[in-house]
Amino acid sequence: MARINPHYKELQGSYLFSEIARRRTAFLKEHPDADIISLGIGDVTRPLPEAAASAMRAAVDDMTKAETFRGYGPEQGYDFLREAIARHDYQDRGIDIRADEVFVSDGSKCDVSNIQEIFSQDAVVAVQDPVYPVYVDTNVMAGRAGAYDKETNRYQGIVYLVCGRENGFKPALPERKVDLIYLCYPNNPTGMTLTRDELKRWVDYAKKNGSVILYDSAYEAYIREEGVPHSIYEIEGAREVAIEFRSFSKTAGFTGVRCAYTVVPRDLKAKDNDGNDVAIADLWNRRHTTKFNGVSYVTQRGAAALYTPEGKAQIAALVDYYMANAKLILDGLKSVGIEAYGGVNAPYIWLKTPEGIDSWAFFDKLLREAHIVGTPGVGFGQAGQGYFRLTAFGSRENTERAVERITKLGW
């Protein structure tokens, strides 16, 4: 009889969203007429920018004519998209990234999941806590996480970088040497960012320790403040130590369309077992071409259209829309004395639950008293206990109604 990968048994159940659904359903059973507003999920609600939609329609037409039909495309992405990404997202901002260092994919979730498999089994992994759970679970599956400790809610083999209000949600450098460091900025779930100097400390650490930074920048488009780095490659030396992940999902309403990209600079090297330098880009290219057959031509045409002047203006309008929601939520929470973070350069608001109310108790209070569903912070890691995440991805109307309900509650 075939045996399973034993590490799958070390995965903890996807407790968070199933428990949210369970509590919501139970509440609706008791109160079938409750008009529940969800500010919990990280999915967008606004439709596709017209520039992308019309480029996709034209691309479908291409596919219907023998002269312009496309079958399998290059696994790394069509040049028209790789070049647009390299030029608009990097070179025009003075960042040295070339088109052949850009790998187009069908989502950052896949890329941040798959990247770990090109590193050694004994690589020591560091993650932020709270954290986007995919980084942890994929390393559990790969057998890198060690045993799960129920007392601490942590895997013994993973280095957790705590982000709480005591350190401004900015993790300290690891006390021990780590090989792979997952950093996410703007951060999901805390909505916080790093300054250039803070990011430089990570790049310097990685250079000194031979570590690789896996920099998830899925929410880059939401950065509004001057001076916040948009890319890790704005930091000198980052080409030698960092891989950057970006996605069109939250930027342009592509959560259902599916398109993202990963940047692997040619200067990034790691060691083989004989101590030789190996270019990570070669390994990622090998992996990508072996296991992936490319993003559809239609989708890539849609993504490329986001870099036209119309596309850029439509993205800016989308981001403005969600960030106006974020401001409403942030201002509403603050007006009733709730401590809240994020929401300025990110579509997430991370609030501190009032004294004596933990993440799940706050979830229940909000559901029962305001008919609002959010996400308990503890679901993102032990350091998220006592916090709660709200998202700005709802409609304006629902956001306004939710804020009104929250501010009317007695705090």
- Residues of this chain that interact with ligand PLP (CB under 6 A) are 42, 107-109, 112, 132, 184, 188, 216, 218, 247, 249, 255, 260
* CA gap 289, 195 in Å, rounded: 36
CB of 105 to ligand PLP, least distance (A): 8
E-strand ranges in 210-297 read 212-216, 242-247, 260-263, 269-271, 277-279
The residues, any chain, with a CB within 8 Å of residue 262's CB and separated by 6 or more, are 102, 103, 105, 108, 111, 115, 243, 244, 245, 246, 284
Q: By beta-carbon distance, which residue lies closest to ligand PLP?
A: 107
* CA gap 266, 156 in Å, rounded: 33
CB of 130 to ligand PLP, least distance (A): 11
* CA gap 77, 83 in Å, rounded: 10
CB of 187 to ligand PLP, least distance (A): 8
- 3-class secondary structure per residue, 109-123: HHHHHHHHHHCCCCC
Nearer Cβ to ligand PLP (228/260) = 260
Chain center to CA of 21? 22
The residues, any chain, with a CB within 8 Å of residue 365's CB and separated by 6 or more, are 357, 409
Nearer Cβ to ligand PLP (255/407) = 255
Q: Would you call 160 helix, strand, or coil by DSSP?
A: strand
Nearer Cβ to ligand PLP (108/314) = 108
CB of 257 to ligand PLP, least distance (A): 10
CB of 161 to ligand PLP, least distance (A): 15
Q: Where are the alpha helices (DSSP H) in 296-395?
A: 297-305, 309-335, 359-370
73 burial via Cβ count (<10 Å: 0-12, 13-18, 19+): middle
CB of 87 to ligand PLP, least distance (A): 21
Nearer Cβ to ligand PLP (311/347) = 347
Closest by CA position to 352, among listed 341, 363, 366: 341
Cβ atoms of 321 and 46 within 8 Å: the answer is yes
Q: In this structure, what token pair is assigned to residue 184?
A: 């996410």
Nearer Cβ to ligand PLP (246/352) = 246
Nearer Cβ to ligand PLP (153/255) = 255
DSSP string, 54-111: HHHHHHHHHHTSTTT---S--TT--HHHHHHHIIIIIGGGT----GGGEEEES-HHHH
Nearer Cβ to ligand PLP (75/216) = 216
CB of 255 to ligand PLP, least distance (A): 5
The residues, any chain, with a CB within 8 Å of residue 131's CB and separated by 6 or more, are 182, 184, 380, 381
Nearer Cβ to ligand PLP (222/338) = 222
Chain center to CA of 113? 11
Nearer Cβ to ligand PLP (130/386) = 130
CB of 132 to ligand PLP, least distance (A): 4
CB of 242 to ligand PLP, least distance (A): 15
Give, as one character, the DSSP assignment of residue 376: E
Nearer Cβ to ligand PLP (256/410) = 256
CB of 94 to ligand PLP, least distance (A): 25
CB of 112 to ligand PLP, least distance (A): 6
Nearer Cβ to ligand PLP (307/371) = 307
DSSP string, 177-228: --SEEEEESS-TTT-----HHHHHHHHHHHHHHT-EEEEE-TTGGG--STT-
